[in-house]
């Protein structure tokens, strides 16, 4: 049957319903995954330290109204006596009561919102995270992950129907939306990537309404502001999309952008920083605390004297002279950062950091407020405890290679994204003018390209400790929030795929992408199949 005949038989209504059927079917399959969520030991319905960290916050907020998770971390299975809620994704600092407490290292906005959902489930069913964790966790995952994902898929199907695609292209793109991205992979675990991607997808829809459909109603500007800011609240590099959308909308309608889009950014920003202040007593998020804090004072010692040999009495005297009370229980011990020592007073549960001037022979010792929240007894985030990819990739070029086309590769694991590159070329070649005041499709493509380059460049340019591919994860998870933007570009590329050989090639790309997304069926927090296979063959060092 010719493609023309297929189009006549399937378009428009049948194709639309077939696309919707594909995503609904995928949602049912994902539901079957969620209702089977459990740890590898079967003791709790959590997959990894990453999602346990967020669940700890939810449990603590619901029970004590506090973000301190010390007690939750100590929950043990009655049979194995294992700490089944314990997580390595922790920070530790002094709380409002003057004592040291553990907190999740994740931004508190999302767990705070999810706590509200949990309280609703608890009120309706009487089930709690402590007496029926499997029911509560699975129900909450359906509410906060699966239902929003289904709405997101529906929105993308509407985008597909708007484009001048053949029936084949519409079905292929719908299959990719439902099965080929890592968003479906991560529906079975609490994470920030899924809500960020959904928020970015909603903002993309708003931009299309405004710029491409020429619908300038205020609601689209307001919704664009809310959704871009929520995306950025969950993925810091998504600030690039927030800025790109702002610039695009300024070109399209400056007045409504300034009076609608910009003010709509504020509620999420206030919620983000407000919940962070409630959790940590300051506006800076936990991940900003990985080194020494504010400099407090300096004092002179014998030139070249190692910090570990400083007389403790001298340090205590200097502390007291500068208004810092110190007890006789204070000790001086090495911190996780090279050249930094921790002055720890167990009686007062207070600590400061000591570091010499950069000159090796200098006698000046600088004293700082303690700013490394990831440094605490038993912390995983030390050079001698980190394992596998968490150690970081020393070779920058190797890191770039594996992040793009290697074992964690954006294009090797999801080669369907090659169509996004083609889509950018298609939009450029189909332009009627370079005047972005008229050619809004080109303007949107430029916004997506700029956002992608800034975000990926940010990830690839990280220091050693952050060059870890996002930790143990089935894909390069930091880029998942870009999914809806790249899907829109891929739709532009599919418009020109007409030859039979080209379509077969696209189907191969789709198949590989679906395999990558479905491979970690039981647990998305596992290494990608390419990495596992490379280790099996001996091409890659085992983690």
Q: Any idea where the domains of the chain sit in the sequence?
A: 49-142, 291-369
pLDDT score of 161: 94
pLDDT higher than 70, residue 10: no
Can you say how many angstroms the Cα of residue 475 is from the centroid of all Cα atoms in its chain? 12
pLDDT higher than 60, residue 370: yes
- 191 is written with which tokens? 């994470």
pLDDT score of 8: 45
pLDDT higher than 80, residue 7: no
pLDDT score of 188: 97
The closest alpha carbon to 404, from 415, 395, 393, 394, belongs to: 415
pLDDT higher than 60, residue 361: no
Binned at pLDDT 50, 70 and 90, residue 360 comes out as low
Name the average pLDDT for the chain: 94
pLDDT digits 0-9 by tens, 222-242: 999 999 999 999 999 999 999
pLDDT score of 337: 92
**For 151-159, what is the mean pLDDT?**
97
Count other C-beta atoms under 10 Å from residue 74's C-beta.
11
The DSSP H or E segment spanning 355 is: strand 350-356
Residues 6+ apart with CB under 8 A from 496: 422, 426
Pairing of strands 350-356, 364-369: antiparallel
pLDDT digits 0-9 by tens, 117-150: 999 999 999 999 999 999 999 999 999 999 999 9
Per the listing, tokens 């189009």 go with 7
| 230 contacts 238 by C-beta, under 8 angstroms | no
pLDDT digits 0-9 by tens, 490-523: 999 999 999 999 999 999 999 999 999 999 999 9
**For 467-472, what is the mean pLDDT?**
96
Q: Encode burial over 119-146: b for 16+ CB neighbours within 10 A, e otherwise.
A: eebeeeeebbbeeebbbbbbbbbbebbb
The closest alpha carbon to 226, from 203, 254, 247, 258, belongs to: 203
Angle separating helix axes 167-175 and 500-518, nearest 10 degrees: 20
Cα dihedral 455, 457, 459, 465 sign? negative
pLDDT digits 0-9 by tens, 241-276: 999 999 999 999 999 999 999 999 999 999 999 999
| 56 contacts 72 by C-beta, under 8 angstroms | yes
CA atoms within 13 A on the CB side of 37: 29
The closest alpha carbon to 336, from 92, 107, 94, belongs to: 92
**For 278-292, what is the mean pLDDT?**
96
pLDDT score of 380: 96
The DSSP call for residue 349 is T
**For 148-171, what is the mean pLDDT?**
96
pLDDT score of 11: 58
pLDDT score of 363: 80
| 261 contacts 249 by C-beta, under 8 angstroms | yes
The closest alpha carbon to 12, from 159, 167, 163, 150, belongs to: 167
Binned at pLDDT 50, 70 and 90, residue 432 comes out as confident
Binned at pLDDT 50, 70 and 90, residue 433 comes out as confident
pLDDT higher than 70, residue 3: no
- 176 is written with which tokens? 């990719």
pLDDT digits 0-9 by tens, 413-426: 999 999 999 999 99
pLDDT score of 256: 98
* C-alpha–C-alpha distance, residues 370 and 413, integer Å: 41
pLDDT higher than 70, residue 458: yes
């Amino acid at each position: 049957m010719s493609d023309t005949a297929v189009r006549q038989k399937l378009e428009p209504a049948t194709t639309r319903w077939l696309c919707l059927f594909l995503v609904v079917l995928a949602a049912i399959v994902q539901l079957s995954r969620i209702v089977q969520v459990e740890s590898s030991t079967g003791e709790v319905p959590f997959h990894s330290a990453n999602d346990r960290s967020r669940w700890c916050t939810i449990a603590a907020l619901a029970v004590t109204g506090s973000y301190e998770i010390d007690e939750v971390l100590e929950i043990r299975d009655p049979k194995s006596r294992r700490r089944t809620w314990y997580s390595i994704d922790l920070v530790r600092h002094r709380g409002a009561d003057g004592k040291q407490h553990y907190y999740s290292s994740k931004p508190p906005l999302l767990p705070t919102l999810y706590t509200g959902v949990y309280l609703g489930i608890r009120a309706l069913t009487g089930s709690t995270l402590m007496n029926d964790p499997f029911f509560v966790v699975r129900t909450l995952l359906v509410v906060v992950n699966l239902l929003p994902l289904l709405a997101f898929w529906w929105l993308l199907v509407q985008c597909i129907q708007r484009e001048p695609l053949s029936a084949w292209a519409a079905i292929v793109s719908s299959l990719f939306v439902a099965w080929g991205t890592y968003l479906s992979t991560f529906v079975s675990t609490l994470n920030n990537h899924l809500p960020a991607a959904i928020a970015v997808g909603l903002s993309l829809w708003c931009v299309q309404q405004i710029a491409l459909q020429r619908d300038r109603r205020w609601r689209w500007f307001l919704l664009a502001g809310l959704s871009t800011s929520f995306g950025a609240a969950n993925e810091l590099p998504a600030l690039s999309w927030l800025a790109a959308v702002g610039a695009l909308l300024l070109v399209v309608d400056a007045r409504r952008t300034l009076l609608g889009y910009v003010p709509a950014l504020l509620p999420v920003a206030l919620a983000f920083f407000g919940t962070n202040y409630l959790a940590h007593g300051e506006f800076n998020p936990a991940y900003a605390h990985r080194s020494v804090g504010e400099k407090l004072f300096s004092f002179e010692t014998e030139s070249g004297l190692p910090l570990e040999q400083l007389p403790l009495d001298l340090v205590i005297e200097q502390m007291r002279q500068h208004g810092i009370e110190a007890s006789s229980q204070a000790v001086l011990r090495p911190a996780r950062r090279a050249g930094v020592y921790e002055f720890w007073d167990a009686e007062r549960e207070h600590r400061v950091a000591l570091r010499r001037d950069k000159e090796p022979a200098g006698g000046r010792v600088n004293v700082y407020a303690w700013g490394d929240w990831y440094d605490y007894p038993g912390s995983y985030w030390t050079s001698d405890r980190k394992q596998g990819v968490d150690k970081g990739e020393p070779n920058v070029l190797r890191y770039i290679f594996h992040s793009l086309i290697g074992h964690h590769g954006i294009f090797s694991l999801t080669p369907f994204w090659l169509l996004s590159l083609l889509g950018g070329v298609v939009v450029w070649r189909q332009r009627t003018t370079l005047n972005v005041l008229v050619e809004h499709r080109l303007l949107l493509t430029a916004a997506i390209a700029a956002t992608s380059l800034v975000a990926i460049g940010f990830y690839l340019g990280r220091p050693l400790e952050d060059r870890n591919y996002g930790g143990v994860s089935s894909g390069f998870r930091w880029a998942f929030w870009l999914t809806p933007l790249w899907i829109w570009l891929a739709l532009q590329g599919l418009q020109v795929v007409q030859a039979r050989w080209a379509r077969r090639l696209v189907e191969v790309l789709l198949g590989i992408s679906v395999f990558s997304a479905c491979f970690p069926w039981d647990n998305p927090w596992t290494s990608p199949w390419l990495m596992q296979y490379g280790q099996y063959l001996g091409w890659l060092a085992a983690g």
